[in-house]
Structure 1
Amino acid sequence: MSNVTVSVILPTYNGEHYIRKAIESVLGQSYSSLELIVVDDGSTDTTPQIIAEYAAKDGRVRYLRNEVNVGIQRSLNRGLKEARGAWIGRIDDDDSWVLTDKLEKQLAFLENNPAHVLIGTGLIVQDEAGDELYRFYNPREDADVRQRLLYRNCFSHSTVIFNRDRALQIGGYDESPATLHIEDYDLWLRLGQHGRVGNLSDYAVRLTLHDQSISATQKIVQFKKQLELTKHFKGAYPRYFWNRMRSWLRLGLYEAFGAVAPAYVERYIVARYKRR
């Protein structure tokens, strides 16, 4: 396809239970000048057959297979380098796009706001039965994102589209162990130094929580990695010390309470502190 505007990267490993819904949600977009790059990281279940089935039916599906498992970071970079579109979309194999005009709205925004290098949306979190658990709001405006970006990742990976050339110029996804499972956050922090970023108000993506989802223990490891990562962006974004204090508080709450409601407790403590 020579008229591709958006390349959507879908990395997968043994994703047979969910991947059909992810693929169909991309192919069902109202904006059709896209390609879907499915990077299979050495799956041992029926995932390869499922991908091949869709690739045979729709020429927009490109199937890339790693003969051995190389990990999420290298798989993402393989997709990024193979992409033909000026913009990169992302979807995980257990997520789905619930708005058929997701890409259309994001591209219209980018056309009207050429200084932006990254645009995401809100996120709906559901259980395996498909029942909605909660909605995750991401700040919309560039200035609001920057105020919070050293505290938390303000972009849900499956919601974003970002500038391919700019991402390649800054080295793509970092492949070091230090950024494993926060490779997206690292990329957003670097991209934000080269253009404006933001989110649309739409809740355009559903994320499914299941047995393989990140646990409270893994969250603690992730938070520690984020604390180390954000040290390198001290001068790049505002409110460094305030956000660092909140990050340490969040880590302490997770270590003390696990996943039992640390966000609620944190909001209460921060609100009390700000009233003083």
Structure 2
Amino acid sequence: MSSSSPLVSVIIPTYNRAHLIGETLDSVLAQTYQNWECIVVDDGSTDGTDELMADYMAKDARFQYHHRPKDRLPGGNAARNYGFEMSKGEYIQWFDSDDLMMPEKIELKINWLLDKKVDFVVCEGAEITDKKNLSYVKKWKLFETDSALLEHIKGNLVYGTNGPLFNKQYLIKTALFDEELRISQEWEFFSRLLISSPKVGIINIVLYLYRNEADGKRSKTTKFKLVNKAIAISKIVDLYSEKPINDTSKDFEVRKYLFNYIKLYIKRCLKHKLYSETSRLVKLRIKIINYSFLKDATYRFLKNQNNVFKVII
């Protein structure tokens, strides 16, 4: 394998998408960059995905098909991680089974990764509203690294699994998807990665198209979503609280936003009588005040003579 043309592993979890995944796989076949393997991991489909994948594997040996092991939790996260474990590529592209790659998606990103030596490269995406017309997702604006974490936790920046092409070694050193989370898993995953201050390449070109469709699994209740969100928030706040206080406006804004975000979800959890999750979030709020936010607020109050304590009332 040439060092100028490294292997890229495309990892696609799927569940009952036999009617759509063929178009996704065709878009992988159409890539201008050809040194790839495509690993499809089935999360329990019952719709003929097995037969469809057999056809694609017969067509091209670069396609692989695996079923999520029974000892792994159901859901896309375990399927993504299992595909990662099966992968042989130096670079990782997770992708969704109902979406489409533009032909130069991998080539443009691999060239950037090889040239700039970054941890991952992100691009823009567009929603498929019909076969001919595309609608850009304005909130998926890309931000420079020093602003990315704050904008991501605010919800203004959403990388999604389709966007980044990763250096595999970076993921090995950092983390994979949390298999216990069923909601907010991408928010938690990318928040965790951005806390590590990665080197990120930005390509301001639409390189993938996505459908905004349900995947056919059972619908999630509000309580279920809140429980998972509380867990995701706690993981990110715990991780960020371990960082040293940094005298920058960005660090201060991240801590302030997380503090107020916790407050919002305390109210939501109380409304739905989720007392265990409420207790978890209250402890996080106290942790931020005691170990980070209050110290930072005190410093700024003394330095700038502005009553920043208002933000914690």
TM-score range, shorter chain: 0.7 to 0.9
Structure having the higher strand fraction is: 1
Alignment partner, residue 145 of structure 2: 142
1:76 to 65, 77, 80: 80
2:238 to 221, 232, 241: 232
Is contact 2:15-2:215 (8 Å) kept?
no
Give unpaired runs (5+ residues) of structure 1. 256-276
The normalised TM-score by structure 2 is 0.68
Q: Summarize the alignment of residues 231-270 of structure 1 with structure 2, pairs less than 5 Å apart.
A: 231-235=237-241, 236=243, 238=251, 239-244=253-258, 247=261
Report percent identity of matched pairs. Answer: 24
CA distances 1:175-196 after superposition (whole Å, capped 9, x unpaired) = 22xx323333333333331631
How far apart are residue 120 of structure 1 and its match?
Answer: 1.5
CA distances 1:192-232 after superposition (whole Å, capped 9, x unpaired) = 31631243111111111234488895876775555334312
SS of match in other structure, 2:41:
strand
Alpha-carbon distance in 2 for matches of 1:86, 1:198: 17
Q: Which stretch of the first structure deviates more once superposed, 239-248 or 152-161?
A: 239-248
Alpha-carbon distance in 2 for matches of 1:182, 1:59: 34
How far apart are residue 104 of structure 1 and its match?
Answer: 0.9
How far apart are residue 29 of structure 1 and its match?
Answer: 0.6
Alignment partner, residue 53 of structure 1: 55
1:103 to 81, 102, 106: 106
1:174 aligns with 2:178: yes
Alpha-carbon distance in 2 for matches of 1:124, 1:93: 16
How far apart are residue 32 of structure 1 and its match?
Answer: 0.5
Q: Measured at CA, do residues 210 and 175 of structure 1 come closer, stay the same or move farther in structure 2, by a change above 3 Å?
A: closer
Count of residue pairs the alignment pairs up? 251
Q: Measured at CA, do residues 108 and 130 of structure 1 come closer, stay the same or move farther in structure 2, by a change above 3 Å?
A: same
Q: Detail structure 1 runs of 4+ shifted over 6 Å in the superposition.
A: 213-216, 218-222, 248-252
The normalised TM-score by structure 1 is 0.76
How far apart are residue 57 of structure 1 and its match?
Answer: 0.5
Is contact 2:145-2:197 (8 Å) kept?
no
SS of match in other structure, 1:149:
helix
Alpha-carbon distance in 2 for matches of 1:215, 1:172: 23
Structure having the higher helix fraction is: 2
RMSD: 3.3
